[in-house]
């Protein structure tokens, strides 16, 4: 499984997502990283490998929503929760995920600026992030 997880470059992301186990209500979970092939998130619930989920990222317009399958999970060292890795189930998702990755990075940048005392709009954060990082974004 380690080889499958590393097939795509993973972008560390600290954005909450919505995870929908089949026919159940959404659980909000912090996303750990995001790649063209899938993502990982943190949860207090054990989710077995092979389970089909739906993941929604509400921070993009329109919201990103995609089916995925659980590839792996591992408990945290402190015994309080799990990190879960999922793989997207269709090829169309890979095309859409690049834009989602950029939006998530811009949201992280905006949050970082706020922690440093700069309250900037998403539009301002977008312009700054694109100027500083967009040229290197696709090379990873």
Higher-pLDDT residue of 91 and 2 is: 91
Q: Are 79 and 12 in contact (CB under 8 A)?
A: no
55 pLDDT more than 70? yes
For the stretch 116-138, what's the b/e string if a residue is b when 16 or more beta carbons lie within 10 angstroms of its beta carbon?
eeeeeeeeebbebbeeeeeeeee
**CA distances (Å), 13 to each of 51, 67, 92, 103, 108, in order?**
23, 19, 21, 10, 7
Please give the structure tokens belonging to residue 6: 């590393």
Higher-pLDDT residue of 133 and 9 is: 133
**Mean local confidence (pLDDT), 59-85:** 87
**Mean local confidence (pLDDT), 6-32:** 67
**Mean local confidence (pLDDT), 104-116:** 88
**Mean local confidence (pLDDT), 89-94:** 76
Using a 10 angstrom Cβ sphere, with 0-12 exposed, 13-18 middle and 19 or more buried, the burial of residue 80 is exposed
Name the band, by pLDDT with cuts 50, 70 and 90, for residue 119.
Answer: very high
């Amino acid at each position: 499984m380690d080889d499958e997880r590393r097939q795509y470059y993973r972008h560390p992301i600290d954005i909450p997502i919505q995870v929908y186990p089949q026919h159940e209500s959404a659980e909000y979970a912090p996303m750990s990283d995001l790649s063209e092939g899938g993502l990982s998130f943190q949860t207090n619930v054990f989710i077995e490998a092979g389970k089909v989920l739906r993941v929604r990222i509400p921070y993009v317009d329109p919201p990103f929503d995609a089916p995925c399958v659980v590839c792996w999970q591992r408990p945290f060292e402190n015994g309080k929760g799990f990190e879960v890795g999922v793989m997207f189930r269709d090829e169309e998702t890979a095309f859409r995920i690049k834009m989602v990755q950029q939006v998530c990075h811009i949201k992280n940048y905006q949050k970082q600026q706020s922690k440093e005392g700069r309250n900037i709009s998403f539009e301002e954060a977008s312009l700054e992030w694109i100027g500083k990082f967009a040229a290197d974004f696709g090379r990873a």
